[in-house]
Chain A
Amino acid sequence: MLGRILAKRVALSLITLWLLSVIVFAGGQLLPGDVARAMLGPLADPRAVANFNRQFGLDRPAVVQYWDWVSGFVTGDMGRSYALRSPVAPFIAAALGHSLKLGAVALVLVVPLSIAGGVWAALHAGRAIDRVVSLVGLSATILPEFVTGIVLILVFGVWLRVLPITADWPEGAGPLTQLRYLILPSLPLVLALFGYLARMARAGTIEALAADYTRTAVLKGLPWRAVLWRHVLRNALLPTVTVIATQLGALIGGLVVIEVLFRYQGIGSLIFTAARQKDFPLLEAGVLTVGAIYAVAALAADTVAALLDPRIRHGASR
């Protein structure tokens, strides 16, 4: 049962990714018009333009270009950057590694915080602390990351001077130093995700607290601690897991701004630089990579959800 559901999800993800690749390709290759002119300048010699086109295969029909690009991408060849005149893939790989570090720090901070916050708010539902948590969470979520990022930089980097205001650490820095540089950039991401995750955890906990199995457990004489851990939390956290994956999209969007703000060489910063330089192979590869990561994460979340909830595994409706 699990296998069949997974296979269907994988197929759907692949179709979605394929559609995304078409959109990204159309956006990058068809929209801009004459890229060669844009790169080489309006006074460029027509022979130089033709050479550029031939070198990058831009004089072939669009469908051929697309097929070349997509088949290359899947096998790891992401084309050559216009601006850097060298293969794109290593840059993407390096940038991805950096972004994953930042994302990991953010997730390690936000997941326990928001679950704790949500559960706590649920246990005191309706009281002041509940309202405060919800309000703080929601306010932080709607603010653009560059706003929260800048305020955090002002407070911790400029006024209090406890944390560095950019994320490029010196060469060869150890993991602890890197962590110190990564904390401030991760905070806006934490704030952006906290509100929604905490709300999900809170809703799930409230629902679980009101459920029959909780009442049964209490009536059975189980100590409250055990009720919480064994019954309530397990059911409350299921929607939270799936939500984490969907929030990944917001995380990635925030990455672009955060990485530019903190001068961090991650995939967001790479996409931004590529966009600024109209370096379309790099830009397209970056966007498609981001899309692929999101699709994989969504798939992983679905799998985890299916593993945690036997009802999903056996195809029953919730």
Chain B
Amino acid sequence: MTGAAIILFWVVCALAGPQLVPYDPYATDILGALAPPSARHWFGTDQLGRDVFSRVVVGARDILVVAPLATALGVAGGVVLGLVTGYYRGAVDNGLSRLVDVLLTLPLVIIALLALAAIGASTATVVVVIGVVFTPLVARTVRAAVLSQAALDYVAAARLRGERGPYILFVEILPNVAGPILVEATVRLGYAVFTVATLSFIGFGIQPPSPDWGLAISENYGLIGGGIWWIVLANAAAVASLVVGVNLVADGVQEALAT
């Protein structure tokens, strides 16, 4: 539940951020640049004099759009693919298992780097690339769940009734595998947040001038040698809290559905 609270906090920030923050996140104030945390600027200011606290609050928006979208795309694709391969089996099924094994050998960041170098990084392409890579991974879990359902009586009964394939898949089987799908979705969301933040940090994710946290860290990282630590720490703490929040929720969902 702590996890849900954390996520809710950031969602509120993302949605209502611009209204709630004391300063305009994009307003510059060169004279007041690089000020350490104080009562006026809780997290200090960056090199353009922008209030870091406001930027951190508003920075929630991009990652909370990209990561869930990518996860949704991957889960949608994975559910369809998993249902089809789990129910129909056959050559496609074997090919898919091989493909998933291949994809699992490489970490998401490296695959994403390759794809994004090829097609150029932007919010949209990041969503698509992560979604596409997630699809076979989700499909694998869905397929396993479908396999255990497909042997049960209600499926055979539906078949005997003369129901068509798509009906059996989506109306009969899908509701019964919703639990594992939900667990998988929350776990994938955790990976998505992790990956989007990492990609933004190395410049292949969310693009400037967004106040996104990973981007802010990479932009201000060079300053810490000179003792300017607050910008980086604030954004890093934000990323950490969101990742922990999502994982707590994923654990909670898993526990709740393990019955």
Contact = CB atoms under 8 A, between A and B. Distances in A.
Interface of A: 15-16, 19-20, 23-24, 27-28, 31-32, 138-139, 142-147, 150-151, 153-154, 157-159, 165, 249-250, 252-254, 256-257, 260-261, 271-272, 274-276, 278, 280, 283-284, 287, 290-291, 294-295, 298
Given A142-B247, A158-B229, A272 B119 contact: no
Taking chain B's interface residues, is the majority helix, strand, or loop, or is none over half, making it mixed? Answer: helix
A256 B105 CA distance: 15
15 contacts: A16-B98, A16-B105, A19-B102, A24-B114, A32-B118, A143-B240, A144-B239, A144-B243, A146-B198, A249-B106, A252-B106, A256-B113, A272-B113, A278-B118, A298-B105
B114 A275 contact: yes
Interface of B: 98-99, 101-102, 104-111, 113-119, 190, 194, 197-198, 201-204, 214, 217, 221, 224-225, 227, 229, 232-233, 236, 239-240, 243-244, 247
Nearest to B99: A19
Given A142-B243, A142-B247, A252 B107 contact: yes
Given A19-B98, A280-B117, A283-B113, 6 more contacts: A142-B247, A143-B244, A250-B107, A272-B113, A276-B117, A294-B106
A146 B200 CA distance: 11
B102 A142 contact: no
B113 A153 contact: no
Taking chain A's interface residues, is the majority helix, strand, or loop, or is none over half, making it mixed? Answer: helix
A211 B118 CA distance: 53
Contacts of B225: 158, 165
Contacts of B118: 27-28, 31-32, 278, 280
Contacts of B102: 16, 19-20, 23
Nearest to A159: B229
A252 B194 CA distance: 15
3 cross-chain pairs, A with B, having the tightest CB-CB distances, nearest first: A253-B107, A31-B118, A275-B117
B94 to A, nearest CB: 11
B259 to A, nearest CB: 22
A257 B239 CA distance: 15
Contact of A154 (B108, B117, B229, B243): B229
Contacts of A15: 98
Contacts of A139: 244
B106 A287 contact: yes
Given A158-B224, A291-B105, A150 B202 contact: no
A272 B194 contact: no
B105 to A, nearest CB: 5
A28 B114 CA distance: 7
Given A28-B118, A256-B202, A291-B106, A275 B113 contact: yes
Contact of A249 (B107, B202, B224): B107
Contacts of B110: 252-253, 256, 271, 287, 290
Contacts of A165: 224-225
Nearest to A257: B198
Contacts of A298: 105
B114 A147 contact: no
Given A32-B118, A253-B107, A272 B236 contact: no
B236 A257 contact: no
Nearest to A35: B118
B104 to A, nearest CB: 7
Contact of B114 (A19, A153, A287): A287
Nearest to B227: A158
Nearest to A278: B117
B118 to A, nearest CB: 4
A296 B217 CA distance: 35
Contacts of B194: 142, 144
Contacts of A294: 105-106
Contact of B190 (A20, A31, A142, A256): A142
